[in-house]
Amino acid sequence: MKLVHVLGHNPNWNTEIYFDQNVGGEFLITAFSFGNKYLESKRVTQVIDKSMLDLQFYGQKESGRLSKGNLSDFEFHTANIPFDSNPTNVEINKCIIKAIEYQLSAGFNKIIIPLYYEDTYMDGIISTIKTVNSYLKENRINEREYYMTIPLAYDIIRNNDDVERLLFELTDLNICFDGYFIACENKPEQGHKISNDIKLITNLSRVLCVLKIQGFKTIYAYANWDALFYLAQTDIDYITIGTYENLRNFSIKRFTEDVSGGASDGYYFSEQLLNMIRAKDLVNIRANDMIGLIRNKRNIFSDTILEENYKWSIHKPDVNKNYLLSISRLLDQLSEIASLKQRIIQALFLIEKALQNYKKLDDNYVHLQSESKNYHLGVWKMHLLKKIGMKPQEFETLYSAYY
């Protein structure tokens, strides 16, 4: 498993932590943020030889109406399709082929083949994938790796029949992609940062597991810290890590509507709770003398932002670097465990420890709300136990023996 920094707004935080703390190994340039001027960014040029480019066709012509974003920079981009026209699949396929040619000529070694987002018309997606695959069979260049983008719409990833059909097509004998670039729409509930929808997490686990078993490389793109849960179940070749929310949570809205990130003091990612804690909740935790419980160890960024008078803001580098460093360590630790069963058990240990830490907070009168509370660990735990066929009681005995 390799970690890939998503480069968007403030890419310097990613490159700094890469060079200074050795976090991550590769980079994903987002077309939305940089357009075709990515080489004008000093930060990007520093790492261009380790980079791939997501041209982000997700919103198709809808992206052309955005006041922000630079997708239209690329002449061939679907964002440039006139809004009052109805492009045929043939036209869109031509854009996709040009996107491949562009990446080849720009010298990228990993070619991310863009695909539009579709939440109902599976036949359209499948037809496009087959067309691109046929093109690639005739035109692929050795020594380059080709990854087909699979934007998993919320309604598709939650539908077992759609997932089965998609996996059937993606694993066909005739497929010649080296791998898949998976972007999954999570739509977490209000007050949550990641999804705890059992249908979604079960099916996304399945997609990542089946593609890997069938010999494809996988890139889990725009991943949040839920990547821990998925990595526990299968080897994922590349997992992206990002700073701002929009780089860690794939949402079609970003490509079809002008959405603002909104003001936020930011969040503290705690390895001890496996969750993002709202900055304002830290006051409550501190007041009950429990900061030590949630503190990330050996993390200079964490040390800085947990200082009592720290002025919190989501736009501060230390806040974001705390997450990047923490999540990278957790993911690296898991990926080092070769046996998948052992890896799941290790993940279960982390989850159990986090559950117990939540209990300790409760016992010490710390009341956490919204994103800060535990809404996901129980679902993760049960899913992982089921995966290895272990009863909760059996796991508790095992956990007690270790701790």
Partner 1 sequence: MRTTRLTEEFCKYFKIGKIVEAKPRSGQKQVYIVEIGKEIFALKVIPGADERIARELQIYDRFKDNPGIPKVISVEKYGDELVVIEEFIKGKDLSKIADTYINDSYKVRRLIADISEILTPIWIQKCIHRDLKPNNIIVQEDGKPIVLDFGIARDLDDETITPTGFQPFTWNFGSPEQYFFKKELISYRTDFFCLGIIGYYLYTGDLPFGMNRFSIAEAFTGPQKIFDMHNEVMNGFLNSVLKFSVAERPRTIDQFNKLLCL
Indicate whether 165 belongs to the interface with partner 1 (CB under 8 A): yes
User: Which are the contacts of 121, defined by CB distance < 8 A and separation ≥ 6?
Assistant: none
User: Kind and range of the H or E element at 29?
Assistant: strand 26-30
Is the Cβ–Cβ distance between 185 and 251 less than 8 Å? Answer: yes
CB 298, min distance to partner 1, A = 41
Burial 271-303 (b: 16+ CB within 10 A, else e): bbbbbbbbbebbebbeeeebeebbbbeebebbe
With CB under 8 A as the contact rule, the residue among 49, 164, 257, 363 that binds partner 1 is 164
Q: Does 120 bind partner 1 (CB under 8 A)?
A: no
CA distance 322 to 320: 5
The residue range among 59-67, 207-215, 293-301, 362-370 that interacts with partner 1, by the rule CB under 8 A, is: 207-215
Which one, 194 or 209, has the nearer CB to partner 1? 209
Among 210, 227, 290, 330, binds partner 1 (CB under 8 A): 210
Question: Closest approach of Cβ 91 to partner 1, in Å?
Answer: 26
* Residue of 283, 287, 260 whose CA lies nearest to 372: 283
Check residue 342 for interaction with partner 1 (CB under 8 A): no
**One of 213, 259, 287, 382 touching partner 1 (CB under 8 A):** 213
Which residue, 216 or 312, is less far from partner 1 as judged by CB?
216
Contact flag: residue 121 with partner 1 (CB under 8 A):
no
Q: At residue 293, what is the residue type?
A: L
- Name the minimum Å distance from CB 141 to partner 1: 23
- On whether the CB atoms of residues 68 and 35 are closer than 8 A, the answer is no
331 vs 315: CA distance, rounded Å: 24
The footprint of partner 1 on this chain (CB under 8 A) covers a number of residues equal to 13
User: Which span (1-9, 164-172, 193-201, 248-256) binds partner 1, by CB under 8 A?
Assistant: 164-172
- Contact between 387 and partner 1 by CB under 8 A: the answer reads no
Closest CA to 114 of 59, 194, 40: 59
Give the nearer residue to partner 1 in terms of CB position, either 40 or 164.
164
Q: Identify the residue among 155, 172, 189, 257 touching partner 1 (CB under 8 A).
A: 172
159 near partner 1, rule: CB under 8 A: no
CA 58 to chain centroid, in Å, comes to: 15
Class of residue 145 by CB neighbours under 10 A (exposed 0-12, middle 13-18, buried 19+): middle
Residues contributing to the site for partner 1 (CB under 8 A): 164-165, 167-168, 170-174, 210, 213-215
